[in-house]
């Protein structure tokens, strides 16, 4: 039984990072549009209804910010480290073949 072959494709990692950034931007744009729309509707809300909305919106904003933080400060840097490690390993392997 033969060993599996693994292929290193740095472009796929770069494309993955770009896709995460693009998704982040689309989320921001959609949420900005939603907030603008909600602000126009909130003009007629008062009392308990508006207070409840503000409470839920605060939790929503915290969740969205956590999600975006994971995307920007978690996923993208992790993919960059993977890319850097692969590149480093490829350089070491290539130099080994050149020396011997």
Give the range of the structural domain holding residue 46, as residue numbers without chain letter: 12-94
Q: Is 7 part of a structural domain of the chain?
A: no
The model's confidence at residue 66, banded by pLDDT at 50, 70 and 90, is very high
In-domain check, residue 2: no
Number of domains into which the chain is organized: 1
Query: How confident is the model over 5-42, as pLDDT tens digits?
Result: 878 789 999 999 999 999 999 999 999 999 999 999 99
The answer to whether the CB of 20 falls within 8 A of the CB of 71 is: yes
Answer whether residue 4 is part of any domain: no
CB atoms within 10 A of CB 57: 13
Q: For the residues 84-100, what does the mean pLDDT come to?
A: 86
Q: What is the pTM of this model?
A: 0.77
Is 26 inside a domain boundary?
A: yes
């Amino acid at each position: 039984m033969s060993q599996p072959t693994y292929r290193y494709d740095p472009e796929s990692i770069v494309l993955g990072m770009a896709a995460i950034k693009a998704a982040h931007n689309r989320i921001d744009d959609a949420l900005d549009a939603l907030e603008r729309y909600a602000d126009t509707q909130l003009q007629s809300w008062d009392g308990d209804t508006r207070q409840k909305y503000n409470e839920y919106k605060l939790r929503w904003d915290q969740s969205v910010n956590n999600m975006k933080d994971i995307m920007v400060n978690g996923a993208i840097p992790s993919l960059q480290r993977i890319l850097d490690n692969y590149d480093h390993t490829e350089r070491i392997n290539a130099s080994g073949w050149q020396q011997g």
